[in-house]
Amino acid sequence: MQKYKLSQFNSIISISDNIDVAYNAYSNRFMLLRKGLMKANLSEMVSNLELKDALVKGGFVIDKSINEIEKVKELSRKIDIDDEKFNLIINPTLSCNFKCWYCYETKKNKALMSIDVLQNVKLLIKNKAPMFSLFHLAFFGGEPLLGYNKLVKPLIEYTNSICAKCNTKLIVSFTSNGYLITDDMVKFFKINNVDNFQITLDGNKDLHNKTRYQSKGSDSYSRILDNIKLLLENGIGVTLRLNYTDDNINSLKEVADDIEKFNLNQLKLLYISFHQVWQNANVDIKKEVDITIEYFNSKGFHASVPIFNNVKCSCYADKKNNALVNYNGDVFKCTAIDFENTKRDGVLTNAGSIVWENDSLNIRLNSKFKNRPCLKCRLLPICNGACSQKAIYYQGRDYCVFSGDEKKKDDVILDLFLNYVNCVK
């Protein structure tokens, strides 16, 4: 009786006239094989002991008794219900000093977090930090540095003191436009566990300055690059998010040329991530993106599109021990929303605890693995319908983030393969 079966999570993509790349989404393993070899009869493949061992090791051929879907569910539960780490995101304000055309925040409310809400946040940190070995404090917005002196700096100082007392490791990060960073801020960040900034550029100098500006004619591009350099010089990592559209993609090579002028050993602290602006997402410019990324990597940078890994590296919003506290004390799980016009998930109390309303936390934690197309898909272990936010949005309806397009799935695998090749060079 046959002991083995082919994994549901195998993909075979031809990359030349005589070579296929095989990928297994659960093991995240690649194999280069003679063209057509994986399409042979299973008995024939496993009769070759050397080939069988490689296929079993890579997860391409598995024991017939294995329930692969349950294995993915178990892995997902283990990752999402992680009681070692707490992730707390703070919106000090929804106001911003820029006026980007694609931003989904309404920003009608210019308020900063009040001292009363700040006090409740401190109580939350005091209550939570001793329960975890790692505490991640992240600042979002709006532009969080608009509240630096009144909110951000005192909160970082307080969290450092609490985590030091209970021997909890602290990591602090920012999602910021990078414009307001100063020398004094960086000196403070350097000694207070600030680990990373995500900062965005929108094309070369000319195009960026037309998108991200305080006033017409201002040069935010040069100032942001100077601040990125300052962070890197002081050992603070930067994820440089390059927002692209069909209008600016060909200009982004100039960003690589400008960064190359830094001439810093600290460039190893810089990761470059390409993101298509969501209003432009239906425009197919993959070829141009691939060429631009290759240009960056040819200069020694680590650049890629976001790497699909939605199960093993699930979104922070999917995780049990994650919360976002808005400037007004409302609590959410996801950052990719309009906070002013989206129903909150919960509220922060005066005692420093979170009350999750309408069973929102349990609904989110149990939203996955209910979409029928996902359960049949070869990319389930790395995609699973994206995130819990999308699963909740489509609840009760079948959907596919690739619109059922198998070529788009192959493109994701090829991006993973190219990223792997670049990493091992």
Q: What is the pLDDT along the chain (425 residues), one digit of tens a residue?
A: 468 999 999 999 999 999 999 999 999 999 999 998 887 778 878 788 888 999 999 999 999 999 999 999 999 999 999 999 999 999 999 998 777 766 666 655 679 999 999 999 999 999 999 999 999 999 999 999 999 999 999 999 999 999 999 999 999 999 999 999 999 999 999 999 999 999 999 999 999 998 877 767 689 999 999 999 999 999 999 999 999 999 999 999 999 999 998 877 778 899 999 999 877 777 889 999 999 999 999 999 999 988 889 999 999 999 999 999 999 999 999 998 989 889 999 999 999 999 999 999 999 999 999 999 999 999 999 999 999 999 999 999 999 999 999 999 999 999 899 878 766 65
> Do residues 58 and 413 make contact, with C-beta atoms less than 8 angstroms apart?
no
Q: What does the pLDDT read at residue 211?
A: 85
CATH number of 82-358: 3.20.20.70
pLDDT value of position 42: 83
Of 180, 274, 276, 195, the C-alpha closest to 238 is 195
Q: Any idea what DSSP says for residue 331?
A: E
Q: Map tokens 């309404």 to a residue.
A: 106
Q: Rounded distance, CA 392 to CA 193, Å?
A: 35
Rg, the chain, Cα only = 23
Task: Give pTM, 2 decimals.
Answer: 0.92
- Sign of the Cα torsion 194, 195, 198, 201 reads positive
| pLDDT of amino acid 1 | 42
CB neighbours of residue 350 within 10 Å? 11
The whole-number pLDDT of residue 108 equals: 58
For 145, 146, 227, 245, the CA distances from 234, given in Å and listed in that order, are 18, 22, 11, 32
**Can you tell me the distance from the alpha carbon of 8 to that of 24, in angstroms, rounded to the nearest whole number?**
9
Q: How many CA atoms lie within 13 A of 369 on its CB side?
A: 14
Which backbone phi and psi does 419 adopt, to 5 degrees?
A: -65, -40
Which amino acid appears at position 207 of this protein?
L
Q: How far is CA 312 from CA 7, 76, 78, 307, 336, in A?
A: 18, 7, 9, 11, 20
- Which residues does 28 contact at the CB level (< 8 Å), separation at least 6? 309, 312, 381, 382, 416
What integer pLDDT is reported at residue 102 of this predicted model? 63
Strands (E), 202-325: 237-244, 270-276, 302-304, 322-325
Length of the chain: 425
What are the residue ranges spanned by the domains of the chain?
A: 1-66, 82-358
Q: Give the tokens for residue 293.
A: 């990324």
Cβ-contact 316, 85 below 8 angstroms: no
